[in-house]
Amino acid sequence: MRVSAVGMGFDSEEAVLREAAATAAVTHDHPEGVKGAQATALSVFLARRGASKEEIRGAVEARFGYDLGRRLDDIRPDYRFHVSCMESVPESIIAFLESACYEDAVRKAVSLGGDADTMGCIAGGIAEAYYGGVPKDIEDNVRRRLPQEFLELLDEMYAKFGNCETLREGGGDNGGEVAENAGVKKDGGCDKVGDVDDAGGVEKKGSAEDVGAN
């Protein structure tokens, strides 16, 4: 769930895969844990470089053997909480692949009812890179909740590597695909609340301002 920054910070697949493995080894030193981190980081890397969803799907399936051809509607009825990467990373990537925008990707991942915080981070990290950012209302709400030291690290990372919008400028086929998607704003947000409300059976209650208010 913390490896997305690797996909942002390195400029070759080889470097991304190497550094993803290094970050995983600290706490997930198991072949499947390393594989999950590498698959996530590679997805972020490809997304920010302008790859289409089908290109991301194909690259991850070919390298890691994940079955990304399944549908969330088929997965959800029998899905249970899993802490293993092999049963949470592929599902998180599928949530991104079926999404219409950043928020939709996170909601779809959470809707499966699994290791929700981890899966939301995985799907959201890829979606941020693919759709060109995090919607401002979500970003502002989260920033109000983070300690200053976290904010400083986050700002330093974006200052060094650029945000997803600037990284994607002029890159790949996906720029046109996203621009033509009527439900997607430039910052990764959905124009229509219904785009999110009807996604994955998750009802949207209130706005980002209301999230975690209690």
How many CA within 13 A on the CB side of residue 47? 36
Neighbour count for residue 95 (Cβ, 10 Å): 29
Residue 117 marked ligand-binding: yes
Instruction: With CA atoms as reference, report the closest residue to 139 among 203, 205, 84, 185.
Output: 185
Residue 74 marked ligand-binding: no
Are residues 20 and 41 in contact, defined by beta-carbon separation less than 8 angstroms?
yes
**Measured between alpha carbons, how far apart are the two ends of the chain, in Å?**
25
One-character DSSP codes across 99-115: -SSHHHHHHHHHHT-SS
Cα–Cα distance between 181 and 83 in angstroms, integer?
Answer: 34
Residue 195 marked ligand-binding: no
3-state SS, residue 190: strand
Q: What residues form the annotated binding site?
A: 115, 117-118
Q: What residues form the annotated binding site for Mg(2+)?
A: 115, 117-118
